[in-house]
A = this chain, B = another copy of it.
Amino acid sequence: MLQTRLIKHCRQCGTAVAYRMPDDDNRERAVCPSCTTVHYENPLNVVGTLPVWGEQVLLCRRAIEPRHGLWTLPAGFMELGETVADGALRETVEEAGAKVELQGLFTLLNVVRVGQVHFFYRARMLDNTLDPGPETLEARLFHEHDIPWDEIAFRTVRATLQHFFDCRRQGNDYPLHVGDIG
Protein backbone atom coordinates (compact mmCIF):
# COMPACT_ATOMS: atom_id res chain seq x y z
CA MET A 1 0.00 0.00 0.00
CA LEU A 2 1.40 3.39 -0.94
CA GLN A 3 1.57 5.23 2.34
CA THR A 4 1.31 8.96 1.87
CA ARG A 5 0.32 11.67 4.33
CA LEU A 6 2.39 9.99 7.01
CA ILE A 7 3.82 13.26 8.25
CA LYS A 8 1.90 14.75 11.15
CA HIS A 9 4.43 17.17 12.63
CA CYS A 10 7.17 19.44 11.24
CA ARG A 11 10.64 17.90 11.50
CA GLN A 12 12.15 21.37 12.05
CA CYS A 13 9.93 22.80 14.79
CA GLY A 14 7.41 20.12 15.84
CA THR A 15 4.28 22.09 14.86
CA ALA A 16 1.37 20.06 13.40
CA VAL A 17 1.59 20.23 9.57
CA ALA A 18 -1.22 20.84 7.08
CA TYR A 19 -1.37 19.14 3.67
CA ARG A 20 -1.74 21.80 0.96
CA MET A 21 -0.26 22.67 -2.41
CA PRO A 22 2.72 25.05 -2.10
CA ASP A 23 2.54 28.08 -4.45
CA ASP A 24 5.24 26.85 -6.84
CA ASP A 25 4.18 23.20 -6.80
CA ASN A 26 1.53 20.99 -8.42
CA ARG A 27 0.80 18.47 -5.68
CA GLU A 28 -0.09 18.53 -2.01
CA ARG A 29 2.76 18.43 0.52
CA ALA A 30 2.98 18.50 4.29
CA VAL A 31 3.63 22.19 4.99
CA CYS A 32 4.43 23.66 8.40
CA PRO A 33 2.10 26.57 9.18
CA SER A 34 4.64 27.90 11.67
CA CYS A 35 8.11 27.77 10.02
CA THR A 36 6.82 27.13 6.40
CA THR A 37 9.06 24.07 5.89
CA VAL A 38 7.75 21.86 3.05
CA HIS A 39 8.16 18.12 3.70
CA TYR A 40 8.52 15.87 0.66
CA GLU A 41 7.77 12.15 0.59
CA ASN A 42 9.66 10.27 -2.14
CA PRO A 43 10.28 6.69 -3.28
CA LEU A 44 12.96 4.61 -1.54
CA ASN A 45 15.58 2.40 -3.16
CA VAL A 46 15.99 -1.24 -2.13
CA VAL A 47 19.36 -2.64 -3.23
CA GLY A 48 20.66 -6.20 -3.28
CA THR A 49 22.44 -8.97 -5.15
CA LEU A 50 21.85 -12.29 -6.86
CA PRO A 51 24.92 -14.22 -5.64
CA VAL A 52 25.99 -17.10 -7.90
CA TRP A 53 28.25 -20.03 -7.03
CA GLY A 54 28.81 -22.31 -10.01
CA GLU A 55 25.35 -23.58 -11.01
CA GLN A 56 23.78 -22.46 -7.74
CA VAL A 57 22.29 -19.21 -6.42
CA LEU A 58 22.15 -17.97 -2.85
CA LEU A 59 18.89 -17.36 -1.00
CA CYS A 60 18.28 -16.20 2.58
CA ARG A 61 15.33 -17.20 4.78
CA ARG A 62 13.99 -14.10 6.53
CA ALA A 63 14.19 -13.85 10.32
CA ILE A 64 12.19 -10.59 10.30
CA GLU A 65 8.83 -9.25 9.18
CA PRO A 66 7.48 -8.78 6.64
CA ARG A 67 7.54 -12.30 5.15
CA HIS A 68 9.21 -13.98 8.14
CA GLY A 69 10.33 -17.50 7.20
CA LEU A 70 10.19 -16.94 3.43
CA TRP A 71 13.17 -16.90 1.06
CA THR A 72 14.72 -13.77 -0.42
CA LEU A 73 17.83 -12.46 -2.10
CA PRO A 74 20.03 -10.36 0.19
CA ALA A 75 18.69 -6.79 -0.10
CA GLY A 76 17.67 -3.79 1.94
CA PHE A 77 17.16 -0.03 1.94
CA MET A 78 19.93 2.03 0.34
CA GLU A 79 21.55 4.32 2.91
CA LEU A 80 22.96 7.83 2.70
CA GLY A 81 26.71 7.83 2.00
CA GLU A 82 26.69 4.88 -0.41
CA THR A 83 26.15 4.07 -4.09
CA VAL A 84 23.61 1.50 -5.31
CA ALA A 85 26.52 -0.94 -5.66
CA ASP A 86 27.90 -0.15 -2.18
CA GLY A 87 24.49 -0.80 -0.64
CA ALA A 88 23.99 -4.05 -2.56
CA LEU A 89 27.37 -5.31 -1.37
CA ARG A 90 26.74 -4.21 2.24
CA GLU A 91 23.40 -6.03 2.38
CA THR A 92 25.01 -9.19 0.99
CA VAL A 93 27.55 -9.18 3.79
CA GLU A 94 25.04 -8.24 6.50
CA GLU A 95 22.37 -10.77 5.59
CA ALA A 96 24.38 -13.71 4.28
CA GLY A 97 28.02 -13.13 5.23
CA ALA A 98 28.83 -13.96 1.61
CA LYS A 99 32.05 -12.81 -0.04
CA VAL A 100 31.14 -11.65 -3.55
CA GLU A 101 32.38 -9.61 -6.47
CA LEU A 102 29.68 -7.50 -8.14
CA GLN A 103 29.01 -8.04 -11.82
CA GLY A 104 26.53 -5.99 -13.86
CA LEU A 105 23.36 -4.29 -12.63
CA PHE A 106 20.80 -6.95 -13.54
CA THR A 107 17.26 -5.81 -12.61
CA LEU A 108 15.68 -2.42 -11.90
CA LEU A 109 12.09 -2.97 -10.81
CA ASN A 110 9.60 -0.24 -9.96
CA VAL A 111 7.19 -1.18 -7.18
CA VAL A 112 4.91 1.86 -7.39
CA ARG A 113 2.33 0.45 -4.97
CA VAL A 114 4.79 0.70 -2.07
CA GLY A 115 6.83 3.66 -3.35
CA GLN A 116 10.02 1.68 -3.95
CA VAL A 117 12.55 0.94 -6.68
CA HIS A 118 14.40 -2.40 -6.33
CA PHE A 119 17.88 -2.93 -7.81
CA PHE A 120 19.69 -6.27 -8.02
CA TYR A 121 23.28 -6.78 -9.13
CA ARG A 122 24.54 -10.16 -10.30
CA ALA A 123 27.38 -11.19 -8.01
CA ARG A 124 30.03 -13.89 -8.25
CA MET A 125 30.65 -15.66 -4.96
CA LEU A 126 34.36 -15.87 -4.17
CA ASP A 127 33.92 -18.93 -1.96
CA ASN A 128 30.94 -20.83 -0.58
CA THR A 129 31.29 -19.94 3.09
CA LEU A 130 28.28 -18.16 4.57
CA ASP A 131 27.70 -16.38 7.86
CA PRO A 132 24.06 -15.23 8.09
CA GLY A 133 23.33 -12.12 10.17
CA PRO A 134 20.49 -11.55 12.66
CA GLU A 135 17.94 -10.78 9.92
CA THR A 136 18.46 -14.22 8.34
CA LEU A 137 17.33 -17.62 9.73
CA GLU A 138 19.35 -19.55 7.17
CA ALA A 139 21.39 -18.86 4.01
CA ARG A 140 21.67 -21.62 1.41
CA LEU A 141 22.72 -22.37 -2.16
CA PHE A 142 20.04 -23.69 -4.53
CA HIS A 143 20.08 -25.32 -7.93
CA GLU A 144 17.33 -24.02 -10.23
CA HIS A 145 15.20 -27.17 -9.78
CA ASP A 146 15.32 -26.78 -5.97
CA ILE A 147 14.24 -23.11 -5.78
CA PRO A 148 11.27 -22.89 -3.35
CA TRP A 149 9.09 -20.89 -5.78
CA ASP A 150 6.07 -21.06 -3.46
CA GLU A 151 8.03 -19.60 -0.57
CA ILE A 152 9.69 -16.58 -2.21
CA ALA A 153 9.23 -13.46 -0.06
CA PHE A 154 8.89 -10.73 -2.72
CA ARG A 155 7.77 -10.43 -6.32
CA THR A 156 10.93 -8.51 -7.25
CA VAL A 157 13.03 -11.43 -5.99
CA ARG A 158 10.94 -13.88 -8.01
CA ALA A 159 11.24 -11.70 -11.14
CA THR A 160 15.01 -11.39 -10.70
CA LEU A 161 15.47 -15.16 -10.27
CA GLN A 162 13.25 -15.91 -13.28
CA HIS A 163 15.11 -13.39 -15.44
CA PHE A 164 18.43 -14.93 -14.38
CA PHE A 165 17.46 -18.51 -15.22
CA ASP A 166 15.91 -17.36 -18.52
CA CYS A 167 19.12 -15.53 -19.47
CA ARG A 168 21.27 -18.49 -18.48
CA ARG A 169 19.22 -20.89 -20.60
CA GLN A 170 19.51 -18.52 -23.57
CA GLY A 171 23.29 -18.16 -23.43
CA ASN A 172 25.75 -16.22 -21.37
CA ASP A 173 24.49 -12.68 -21.73
CA TYR A 174 22.80 -10.94 -18.79
CA PRO A 175 21.33 -7.64 -19.99
CA LEU A 176 19.69 -5.22 -17.53
CA HIS A 177 15.98 -5.86 -17.18
CA VAL A 178 13.90 -2.76 -16.34
CA GLY A 179 10.36 -3.60 -15.29
CA ASP A 180 7.35 -2.69 -13.20
CA ILE A 181 5.80 -4.87 -10.50
CA GLY A 182 2.05 -4.17 -10.58
Q: Which of A49-96 contact B (CB under 8 A)?
A: 77-86, 94
A39's nearest neighbour on chain B, judged by CB, is B11
Residues of B within 8 A of A22 (CB): none
Residues of B within 8 A of A85 (CB): 110, 178
Q: A42-B77, A83-B112, A176-B105 are in contact. Are A12 and B13 (CB under 8 A)?
A: no
Range class of the A interface residue count = 35 or more
Residues of B within 8 A of A112 (CB): 81-83, 86
B9 touches A43 (CB 8 A): no
B117 touches A84 (CB 8 A): yes
Q: Which of A1-47 contact B (CB under 8 A)?
A: 2, 4, 6-16, 24, 26-27, 39-45
Say yes or no: is A180 at the interface (Cβ < 8 Å to chain B): yes
A64's nearest neighbour on chain B, judged by CB, is B24
B42 touches A79 (CB 8 A): yes
What is the interface of chain A, defined by CB distance below 8 A to chain B?
A: 2, 4, 6-16, 24, 26-27, 39-45, 77-86, 94, 105, 108, 110, 112, 115, 117, 134, 176, 178, 180
